[in-house]
Structure 1
């Protein structure tokens, strides 16, 4: 049995689609009633919460490999509870979704420190582990969908600073490999990027071509971005995101890594292919 956390999120949902036709899969969610599991041979949706150690032990019992996706950089408790529960339940292998920033000595923001701490926790757990370290997801640009549909405008910071963004489908493919073959992938950390760095203004141009409509790019100021982020996140997280943006501006996120190609035997997906496949989400 393989357990997936974040099963309704970007990566977890895709991993579930890949594994469910052939593997017994258990999907962990806080609200099982709202989860729509993929069709598969053996798919089980279970309720549990990272804050409830007992519920984690229960859902991890009988599991051999698990995908761990956590999202709150203001606490290590979620990873601590999960790792301790997995060890208690006899889980042999945990695949952790981390971030490539952990390998950058210049990345000292709150979110990166949180991810480093979570990686250390897993490495010292006594279980086999695999670390997935992606750059930013191509799907993050879905945050532009409303302004594209309604105004034909993309608004973002640092329109010319590039990031080697990765297709979440590639992350899911690597995660599925790791979960089903822990002997090969245990003890490995995988940097995951797209095939080329791309900036927000370039992504806007690609979307305009794919959607066959004119789009304009509007450069936001740092104060405007802080105000927008502040409506969604606590101040400490906003500070971390702004620090991360500054590192991107310096070129720290533009390096392309060959790991996706080496693991999957094909080139990693580029932004144009991702945008083409998801054009309907941006269309009017």
Structure 2
């Protein structure tokens, strides 16, 4: 049996949609009603990475699991690994981050991911690591300002990132979860090109048939924006990460998606074409105008 965690998140929900219906699948979620797209035969159970008893129930009879964690410093990975060992799980597939390979990356989030990887590699379990670059879907955070102002605001708009389509990450995850030959491997996952926020803004504008403007935020302006969404230590980690991107640390392209799945990774235009409705108003208009709402990510 395969267990999927993070099934309502960006990657996990795509994994759930792609797992073959003839496999024994169990999905763990805090709110099972939010799980969508799973095969009718899939079993959904209530579980929380912070609750050992619920982990024990979710892992009973599981041989392979996808581990997705997001609470920095909460100890979720350690609890899950202990529970997986106790339940006799054979293989863990861990969603990590490409930044762990960068020796210059010492921000809080990257150090947390490195620690999680080390924990897994020393667990005695069979493991595989998935290390994606930034998700193309991060641009959905621009939707409100695009709809209301035709503006995208961000930090270091001309710095490039080899961002990846979450659907490609999911395709790789499904292969790793269902095939042999991936034990002890770490896969860095990128898109087919390094692209800047300014270029993403231009491409979105062409697809939407509107003129979009990119506004560069200062460091202080970006901090204020992030402060509205994240605790201070996470904000500083994200700002440090942005500086590494400006220095070119996130521009390298890998062909791992093709090596694992047999097809090339998808580009930003393809992702955007499939998500254009997120950038129009609820009536489907692409030319909405409203008073400026202030800086937005």
TM-score by length of 2: 0.92
Runs of 4+ in 1 over 4 A off after TM superposition: none
The C-alpha deviation readout for 1:207-232, integer Å capped at 9, x for no partner, is 00111111111111111111111111
User: Given the superposition, is the C-alpha separation of residues 39 and 234 from structure 1 closer, same or farther in structure 2, using an over 3 Å criterion?
Assistant: closer
Deviations 1:174-208 (A, max 9, x none): 00000001x31111000000000000000000000
Deviation at 1:20, TM superposition (A): 4.8
Aligned length: 281
Q: CA deviation at 1:73?
A: 1.4
Contact 1:167-1:271 within 8 A present in 2 as well: yes
Q: Is the 8 A contact 1:138 1:167 kept in 2?
A: yes
Q: Decide whether the 8 Å contact of 1:20 with 1:41 is kept in 2.
A: no
RMSD of aligned alpha carbons: 1.0
How far apart are residue 272 of structure 1 and its match? Answer: 0.5
Aligned to 1:272: 269
CA distance in 2, matches of 1:39, 1:131: 23
Per residue, is there more helix in 1 or in 2?
1
Question: Corresponding residue for 1:44?
Answer: 43
Query: How much does 1:39 deviate?
Result: 4.4
Contact 1:24 1:41 in 2 (8 A): no
Q: Deviations over 1:94-125 (max 9, x none)?
A: 10000000001000110000000000001111
Q: 1:104-159: CA deviations, max 9, x gaps? A: 10001100000000000011111100000000000000000111111111111111
Question: Residues 50-61 of structure 1: matches in 2 within 5 Å?
Answer: 50-61=49-60
Deviation at 1:41, TM superposition (A): 4.5
Q: Indicate if the aligned counterparts of 1:7 and 1:29 stay in contact, CA closer than 8 A.
A: yes
Q: 1:144 aligns with which of 137, 142, 145?
A: 142
Structure 2: state its 5+ residue gaps. Answer: 282-297
State the TM-score, normalizing by the size of structure 1.
0.97
Deviation at 1:169, TM superposition (A): 0.5
Long gaps (5+) in structure 1: none
